[in-house]
A and B are shown apart, each in its own frame.
Chain A
Amino acid sequence: MQISTELAPSVARRSRRGLVVLSLGPLCALGGVVWALLQPYRITLLHPYGQGFWWLVSEPPIYVVLVGLAFHWLVAPGLVEDLEDSERSRSQP
C-alpha cells in the first residue's frame, strides 16, 4: 500500500509524457488533413488533368500527413519504450 501511494504521481506523469510523444505524429497528420480540407486546390492529385510532373509530385498537405505518420510509426514507439524503461529504472531502488 505504501509503495503504491508513493508511485502513483510518478506513474501518472510518465503516462502523460508518453501520451504527448504518441500524440505528436497524429496531431501533425491531422494538421495536414485539416489543411487539405481548407485548401483542396493545394492537392493537385484531386484535379490532375493538365498538371506537369512537379505539380503532381508536390502535394504539401500530403507531405505533412506523411511526416506525422512516419514519426508516429518509426520514432514514437521506440522513444516511449525508452522513456518507460528510464522511468522504471529510476523508480526502482
Chain B
Amino acid sequence: MILGSAFMPPSEHVHWWFATGFLVLALCFAARAVVGPAVWDRRPWRRYLFPSVVFVMGLLMWPVMVFFTNSTIHMVAHGSWAEMMMLAGGAQLGLAAGKLKSPLWNLTTPLALLVGGIAILVHEQNSWLYSRAAFGHHLIGWIAVGGALIPLVLTFRPRSVVTGVCFAALLVSISTVLYADRDTAPIFGHLAREAGVPHR
C-alpha cells in the first residue's frame, strides 16, 4: 500500500483524478447523444475533445503503472488499461481526423472496456468485502465487462439517443466508484484485519 509522499500522491487521489476524466467523458457523451453525432462533430475541436481525453488518460496510466504498482499482476493490469485507452482514443482520433474511414474502428471502445474490465477482475486478489478498494475493483470490473455491450451497440447504431445516454450513465457509474475509492476503508462496515488501519 502506498500512502504517498511530498512527491507522490496517495493512490486514492490518482483514482479520483481518473474519476474526473471519466466524468468529463460522461458529460461529452451525454451531450453528443442528445444533439446527435453530426451536430457534435460540427466544430473540429469538439470532434477531437473526447478522443483526446481518452488518449491522454491512457498516456497518464503509464506513470501510474510505473510508480503505483507493487506486484507483477498490478503492473500488467495497469499496462493493459494504458494500452487499451490509448488504442480506443487513438482510433477515435483517427476517425475524427478522417485518417481512418471504417466505423468498425469504434469497436476499439467496447474492446477497451472488456479487456480493462477483465484486467480489473483478474488483478484484484481479495474478495468483495475485504475492503472498499477491493469492492470497488470488483464492481468496476463487472460494470466494464457488462457495459462493453453498450458501446458495441453504439458502434452499429451511432445515432441512438438511448444507447448514447446509457453509455454516458456507464461512464458516470465508473466515475462514481472511482471517487468512492479509498486506500484503506471499510465497505458496509466490514474491513479485513489484514487490510490495515483506516488512515483517515
Contact = CB atoms under 8 A, between A and B. Distances in A.
B31 A67 contact: no
Contacts of A64: 20, 23, 179
B38 A52 contact: no
Interface in A72-88: 75-76, 78-79, 82-83, 86
A86 B23 contact: no
Nearest to A54: B9
Chain B interface size, under 10 / 10 to 19 / 20 to 34 / 35 or more: 20 to 34
B20 A63 contact: yes
B101 interface: no
A54 B7 CA distance: 9
Nearest to A28: B27
Nearest to A68: B27
B46 A58 contact: no
Contacts of B24: 67, 71
Contacts of A49: none
B39 A71 contact: no
Given A60-B16, A78-B43, A24 B31 contact: yes
Contacts of A76: 31
A83 B6 contact: no
Contact of B42 (A24, A28, A68, A86): A86
A14 to B, nearest CB: 10
